[in-house]
Amino acid sequence: MLAALAGLATGSVAAALLGTRQTPVVAIGSAFIDRVPPWLKDLAISLFGTHDKTALKAGILIVLLALSAVGGILAVLRYWAGAAVVIVLAGVAVLAAATRPDTGQTGFAPSFVAGVTALIILRLFATRLSGLARFPEDGVSRRGFLQLTAGVTLGTVAVGALGRVVGGRRTAVSDARDALRLPLPPTLDPPAGVQAVGAGPWATPNEDFYRIDTALSVPLIMPADWKLRLHGMVDREIELDFAALLKRKVVHKWVTLACVSNEVGGDLIGNALWSGVLLKDLLAEAGVSANADAIKSTSKDGFTAGTPLGALTDDREAMLAFAMNGQPLPVEHGFPVRIVVPGLYGYVSATKWLAEIEVTRFDQFEAYWTPRGWSALGPIKLSSRIDVPRSKASSGQVTVAGVAWDQHVGVSKVEVRVDGGAWQQAELATDASIDTWRQWHWSWDAPRGNHVLQVRAFDAKGNPQVESQAPPAPDGSTGLHSVDVKVG
């Protein structure tokens, strides 16, 4: 296990020196994410929420250390048997890194270095322990083993710390982000009247905004290094750097984004003020072919999304966003540039760390999630959620409040019922736009006992949300959100 940890430490240093994100754990984890079936992805998100990647890293380390322990036991009896375990583990990591779309020419090297380091240290340990196995009372061998253990432990800690120092790119990117001076909106205050009585914040703070993506280690891009290539079925290819992007006409727009993995009543949804450049202006400048019906957007880490072309050229103001709630995009949310498209789930539109846009047709490509069983178009479904109360309340007048959303369609009415009784109309807060969620509240004269609250929303045309229960896959969950409340 110590040999494996030492290998991971040296692999991290190698990754930092080579300027790649493909440490052994990241390489294996990213390959796992790329191959995970939709049901397992949904299970991970339902169990761990936005901490799914932390759970994955912990799981990889646990499995790695368990297999390393087996290899260590084998190595004492016969070194090459234990070495074979190390070689297989390192080989899996090397292969995983080499097959990543963003690995470059040296992405496999950190896993290779980690494997070689682990083999050398395993050999040292095996030599010491095999001597002790033959002569248990040999004090010299015992002291030598303890000294080697202490040396490897301290060395691993030191090398790990060195890796953090050498890998200071995140600090450099953070400093560059803080130094940016962007064209900001005239006000960060939400529009008047959008906050409902008793409901949570209408505007979601950056630190509370959900994060669901495929990047186990986020791309770290300096603004000066960012470039976008727009090509494909266009009259003129366009290449754009960050400075040129900021010189274009900037728009500021409140937009609610939602993840297709959001269960009924879930929190994988957030509302923010986005600043950026309209995609339809850029596409008009490029001259889009009349036969095109989609764009394929590609992230720096190789993720792809397929977005209907009509959603980028209509009145919804889809944008290349560089700011969120008046600040440069957080690194975890796509810094320096991402795509924001109202009305579509993120898996078909919200590409972070944007690197490339290809104007094309849906019948000519498959985006990242499509071959994994998810639908190609991904329009957001009408839904609603009860935020308060969640489990307990005092008898008497109780405020029931929450949010409803149907981006780029709008919400016209929300109703609440208790214990399956008659539907009661809730009071809606002001509608900021059809591209944001809408808050609501209802006053309930709550009697003592256990009760079930349920909510439903109606779209701008008066159509109610779908009541039948359906899971997120393949195109978003449906059903009514219910909350069990104990009134005392």
The whole-number average pLDDT for the span 450-454 is: 97
Q: How confident is the model at residue 183 (pLDDT cuts 50, 70, 90)?
A: very high
Higher-pLDDT residue of 426 and 108 is 426
Distance between CA atoms of residues 64 and 53, nearest Å: 16
- Judge whether residue 97 has pLDDT over 80: yes
Residue of 254, 194, 273, 257 lying closest to 441 (CA atoms): 194
- Judge whether residue 292 has pLDDT over 80: yes
Which pLDDT score is estimated for 135? 64
- Judge whether residue 139 has pLDDT over 80: no
Question: Which range has the top average pLDDT, 14-18, 51-55, 72-76, 448-452?
Answer: 448-452
Which pLDDT score is estimated for 326? 95
Give the right CATH number for 383-487 from 2.60.40.650, 2.40.110.10, 3.30.70.3270, 3.40.30.10: 2.60.40.650
- Judge whether residue 299 has pLDDT over 90: yes
pLDDT digits (tens, 9 = 90+) for 307-334: 999 999 999 999 999 999 999 999 999 9
φ/ψ region of 289 (left if φ > 0, alpha if ψ in -120 to 50, else beta) reads: beta
Question: What's the whole-number average pLDDT of the chain?
Answer: 92
pLDDT digits (tens, 9 = 90+) for 67-87: 999 999 999 888 999 999 999
Which pLDDT score is estimated for 414? 98
**Angstrom distances, CA of residue 196 to CA of 325, 410, 427, 445:** 20, 17, 8, 18
User: Which distant-in-sequence residues (6+ apart) come within 8 Å of 225 by Cβ?
Assistant: none
The domain spans of the chain are 2-167, 206-372, 383-487
Which pLDDT score is estimated for 136? 67
Which pLDDT score is estimated for 31? 86
- Judge whether residue 34 has pLDDT over 90: no
Distance between CA atoms of residues 473 and 416, nearest Å: 27
Reduce the DSSP state of residue 137 to 3 states and report it. coil
- Judge whether residue 160 has pLDDT over 90: no
Reduce the DSSP state of residue 251 to 3 states and report it. strand
Higher-pLDDT residue of 128 and 197 is 197
- Judge whether residue 138 has pLDDT over 80: no
Amino acid at 427: E
Q: Could you list the beta-strand ranges (E) of 300-428.
A: 304-308, 319-324, 327-328, 338-340, 354-360, 383-388, 392-393, 396-405, 411-418, 424-425, 427-428
Q: Which CATH architecture has domain 206-372?
A: Alpha-Beta Complex (3.90)
Cβ 459 vs Cβ 412: under 8 Å: yes
Which pLDDT score is estimated for 132? 66
In this structure, what are the phi and psi dihedrals at residue 84, rounded to the nearest 5 degrees?
A: -60, -35
pLDDT digits (tens, 9 = 90+) for 221-269: 999 999 999 999 999 999 999 999 999 999 999 999 999 999 999 999 9
Cβ 337 vs Cβ 320: under 8 Å: yes
